[in-house]
Each structure stands twice: as structure tokens, then as C-alpha cells.
């Protein structure tokens, strides 16, 4: 680990002198499954491929070859990537329950009267910081099922109301996200609800795996878009993490596809919710929980307990783990919302913008040369980010973009 006195960021460098262990990545992810997820998603009414935005002027300013933002704020009507995992997991659950083969099940069948007659009404349930619950509620409503979502007590009214807008019953649990996860596990067993969670625990691994496989559909699109630009693959991927599900999906996908030639992969977390960073720091191969209030503006990443199955992939494949203060996410939001002339504007929430904010801080703040050199970031680098959410909390968004909350410390102000 490096904690430079000139930087508020911390990082852990991962070296694999004998090559990376790709067994977990290849066991969890495959191109046939990724294509199945993408085929299912394309059947959903209103589905379209989200943009892979290029920010060439920002790339030039920072001295890199390309900055690419896969903008999941445009995904369906949900302003977030989460529906890609939740919807696919529900699809897989119904498919398995009815014993249907891949070529015999479709979105149209899932909403058909025959399917509803065979299934009856299911209550799908999950705990969430906002976006995952909204995606599960949306999918349940589309397929004609009930939904119960548990949120923690610091979830904002805007996020709660967004979940309720899709007909879900929302319960507020005292404590943080991890407390909500534990409570819904108990209540779902008591009430016969079917949990659709993106984190795993002993005995509950299949559905979180389906969720992460569903996220692969995003990478299928991105690779098609890179191909259209004459780019085989990004050289670097900065990906945000809460329990680690998205990070596992992205990093596992690229290692499944490219093996030891996968892009350099960097996991970015809030410094007040850094369970994966602490797991890497322990260096014993096990996931480690953290406790406390998890106070961060990055609501979607405020998780203290890693998903064990996600950690199994990340521990063997991530090249670096970073933890960053909240101002890094706020800076990323402002960069995307007020771009350099000629670059597109991207509306991003705190959790969506933190990887770009991390790169900008890495390349402009003093004391970060060790990480930059280790990652080999240079004028040829093609760097991928996933904007996982748009303006999902309008009040917080305005406070950051309009009012300047969570400002960058003066010592790190832009000078170029």
C-alpha cells in the first residue's frame, strides 16, 4: 500500500509474477452466457444500446490516448445500469423454475399468460442503496410480479420514491446497507419472498452470479463499439465498487475474454466504505468486512461487506485497489457535466463519476507517480469508464454541481 503525504488517495498495487489465476473468471463468465444476457436484454421493449462517449479533449489535456465513458445513465428508463443484472437474474430464476432451455424462453414468454399461469405471482425482494432496488422493482412490474425492497435509514427520499414509482413496497431499516441485507434475508425466509440480491453469502450464490453475468451485456456492447473505432480492447479499466458485483463482472469479463492480455484493471472505492481495499490489504485471500456508518456521498458504493463470490475473482485479477475521498467523486461529476469544448456532456451521479475523478486526480495531483508508472498510463492508453448512474438524487446533484459541495482542496486545484 502507498499512502503518500502529498495525496489524499491510497492504493494497493498487485503484482502477479507468475501470471494471474484466471480460474474464477473463466468459471463464472463465458461468451455464450454474455451473449445470452445480451440477447435477452435486446428483447425488452424500449431497449437500445447506450452510448460509448469519447472525451478526446480531456484525453489530450491529461496526456492519454483516449477516454471512453459507457453511459449507463441512458439505460432504458432507469437512469442506471443495475436493471441489466436484476432483470437477467429474474429471467434465469423463472427459466430454471419452469425448466426451460435457453432457446425456449424469451421476454415475450415471460409476460405471457401461460407463463403467469404456471408460475403464479412471485414476490421478488432485495436490499438496496437505491439503483439495484429500482431495477428489481421495474423488472418485477414488467413481468407482472410483486416486489418488496428494503433500504437503509440514510437512503434519500428521491431514491425511495423512485423505487415506489414502480409499485414496490419499500421498508426502511435502521442502520446501513449491510443491515438492510441481513434483515431482508430473515424476512424473505419468513414470508416466502424470492431474494434478488447482487451480494452473496453462504448458500446464496447462484442469483448474485446471474446478476454479474447480466452486467456482461454492457461489455458486449462496449466491445462492439470499440471495434467500430478500430480498438481491440481498452488498455485500462477504472471501475467503481460497493460489494464488488460490477467490478467483478467487468474485470472477470475482460480476463475471460483476453486472459493474461486483459486491460489493466483498477478498483475504486470511497475511503469511508473500502471493504475491498481492506480485503486486499489483509492479503490473506479472504474477504473482510468493515463496520461503521459508511458515510460517503457515493450512496451506491456505501457497502461494508464484500460479496464473497465477487472477491474470489477480484483477488486474482485486479491490478490495483484505490480508495478516494468524496471530493474525487464530486470532481468527476463536475468534469463530466461541464466538459472541455468539443467533448460531450455526461450527466453522472456520485457513484458513476468517481472512476473518472480518480483518474483525473491520479494524473494531476502530486505524489501519485508510483501508481501511474505501475499502471503504465501514457499517451497510448485507451481508458474505459462506466457511468453507472445519472442524476438519481437531484438535490444532491444540484448541491455538487451548482453549489460546489464537497470541493476539491485548494492544493489540488487545476493548474493546466
Residues 240 and 316 grouped into a single domain? yes
Tens-place pLDDT, residues 308-343: 999 999 999 999 999 999 999 999 999 999 999 999
* pLDDT confidence of residue 6: 56
Q: Given a cut of 90, is residue 99 above it in pLDDT?
A: yes
7 pLDDT band, cuts 50/70/90, is: confident
415 pLDDT band, cuts 50/70/90, is: confident
Yes or no: say if 231 and 382 are a contact pair by the CB < 8 Å rule: yes
Tens-place pLDDT, residues 116-137: 999 998 999 999 987 899 999 9
What value, to the nearest 5°, has the Cα angle with vertex 18 and ends 14 and 22?
A: 75
What total number of domains does the chain contain?
A: 2
Residue range 30-48: average pLDDT?
96
How is the beta sheet containing 66-71 ordered, strand by strand? Answer: 10-13, 320-324, 264-270, 236-240, 382-387, 66-71, 52-54
Contacts (Cβ under 8 Å, ≥6 apart) of 109: 100, 115
Q: Where do runs of H (alpha helix) occur along 107-244?
A: 107-110, 113-119, 131-142, 157-164, 177-191, 206-228
Yes or no: say if 270 and 328 are a contact pair by the CB < 8 Å rule: no
| Residue 106: count of CB within 10 angstroms of its CB | 16
Tens-place pLDDT, residues 167-223: 999 999 999 999 999 999 999 999 999 999 999 999 999 999 999 999 999 999 999
Backbone phi, then psi, for 266, in 5-degree steps?
-120, 125
232 pLDDT band, cuts 50/70/90, is: very high
* pLDDT confidence of residue 4: 42
Q: Where do runs of H (alpha helix) occur along 229-349?
A: 245-258, 275-282, 308-317, 326-337
What percent of the chain stands above pLDDT 90? Answer: 93
The residue from 206, 233, 260 where one domain ends is: 206
Residues 263 and 311 grouped into a single domain? yes
5 pLDDT band, cuts 50/70/90, is: very low
| CA R_g for the chain | 20
The residue from 178, 206, 234 where one domain ends is: 206
Residue range 94-111: average pLDDT?
91
What value, to the nearest 5°, has the Cα angle with vertex 136 and ends 118 and 47?
A: 90
* pLDDT confidence of residue 103: 83
Residues 256 and 109 grouped into a single domain? no
Q: Given a cut of 60, is residue 3 above it in pLDDT?
A: no
Position 112 in a domain = yes
Residues 121 and 193 grouped into a single domain? yes
What value does the mean pLDDT of the chain take?
95
Active site residue 82: yes
C-alpha cell at 43: 428483447
Range of the domain at 34: 10-81+209-412
Comparison of pLDDT for 293 and 299, the residue scoring more: 299
Overall pTM surpassing 0.85 (yes/no)? yes
* pLDDT confidence of residue 30: 98
Q: Point out the catalytic residue in the list 8, 70, 71, 82.
A: 82
Q: Given a cut of 90, is residue 77 above it in pLDDT?
A: no
* pLDDT confidence of residue 105: 85
User: How many alpha carbons lie under 13 Å from residue 35 in its C-beta half-sphere?
Assistant: 7
Active site residue 403: no
Q: Point out the catalytic residue in the list 129, 316, 326, 343.
A: 129
The residue from 164, 183, 206 where one domain ends is: 206
Residues 277 and 380 grouped into a single domain? yes
DSSP 409: P
Amino acid at each position: 500500500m502507498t499512502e503518500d503525504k502529498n495525496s489524499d488517495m491510497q492504493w494497493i498495487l498487485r503484482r502477479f509474477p507468475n501470471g494471474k489465476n484466471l480460474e474464477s473468471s473463466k468459471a463464472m463468465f463465458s461468451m455464450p452466457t454474455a451473449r445470452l444476457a445480451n440477447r435477452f436484454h435486446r428483447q425488452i421493449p424500449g431497449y437500445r444500446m447506450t452510448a460509448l462517449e469519447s472525451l478526446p479533449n480531456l484525453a489530450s489535456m491529461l496526456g492519454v490516448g483516449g477516454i471512453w465513458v459507457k453511459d449507463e445513465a441512458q439505460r432504458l428508463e432507469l437512469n442506471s445500469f443495475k436493471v441489466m443484472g436484476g432483470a437477467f437474474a429474474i429471467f434465469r430464476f423463472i427459466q430454471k423454475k419452469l425448466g426451460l432451455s435457453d432457446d425456449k424462453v424469451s421476454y415475450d414468454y415471460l409476460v405471457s399468460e401461460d407463463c403467469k399461469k404456471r408460475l403464479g405471482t412471485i414476490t421478488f425482494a432485495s436490499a438496496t442503496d437505491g439503483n439495484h432496488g429500482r431495477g428489481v422493482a421495474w423488472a418485477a412490474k414488467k413481468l407482472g410480479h410483486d416486489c418488496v425492497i428494503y433500504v437503509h435509514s440514510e437512503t434519500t427520499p428521491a431514491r425511495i420514491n423512485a423505487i415506489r414509482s414502480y409499485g414496490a413496497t419499500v421498508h426502511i431499516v435502521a442502520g446501513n446497507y449491510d443491515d438492510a441485507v441481513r434483515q431482508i434475508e430473515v424476512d424473505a425466509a419468513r414470508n416466502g419472498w424470492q431474494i434478488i440480491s447482487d451480494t452473496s453469502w453462504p448458500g446464496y450464490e447462484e442469483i448474485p452470479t446471474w446478476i454479474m453475468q447480466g452486467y456482461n451485456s454492457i461489455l458486449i456492447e462496449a466491445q462492439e463499439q470499440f471495434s467500430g473505432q478500430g480498438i481491440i480492447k481498452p488498455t485500462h479499466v477504472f471501475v467503481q465498487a460497493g460489494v464488488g458485483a460490477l467490478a467483478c463482472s467487468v474485470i472477470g469479463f475482460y480476463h475471460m475474454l483476453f486472459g493474461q492480455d486483459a486491460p489493466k484493471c483498477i478498483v475504486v472505492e470511497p475511503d469511508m466504505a473500502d471493504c475491498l481495499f481492506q480485503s486486499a490489504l489483509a492479503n490473506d485471500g479472504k474477504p473482510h468486512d468493515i463496520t461503521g456508518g459508511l458515510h460517503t456521498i457515493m450512496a451506491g458504493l456505501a457497502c461494508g461487506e464484500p460479496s464473497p463470490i465477487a472477491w474470489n475473482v477480484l483477488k486474482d485479477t485486479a491490478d490495483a485497489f484505490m480508495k478516494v475521498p468524496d471530493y474525487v467523486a464530486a470532481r468527476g461529476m463536475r468534469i463530466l457535466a461541464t466538459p472541455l469544448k468539443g467533448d460531450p456532456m455526461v450527466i453522472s451521479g456520485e457513484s458513476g463519476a468517481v472512476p473518472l475523478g480518480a483518474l483525473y486526480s491520479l494524473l494531476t495531483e502530486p505524489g501519485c507517480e508510483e501508481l501511474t508508472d505501475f499502471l503504465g498510463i501514457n499517451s497510448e492508453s485507451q481508458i474505459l469508464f462506466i457511468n453507472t448512474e445519472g442524476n438519481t438524487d437531484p438535490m444532491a446533484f444540484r448541491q455538487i454541481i451548482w453549489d460546489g459541495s464537497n470541493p476539491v482542496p485548494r492544493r489540488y486545484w487545476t493548474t493546466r
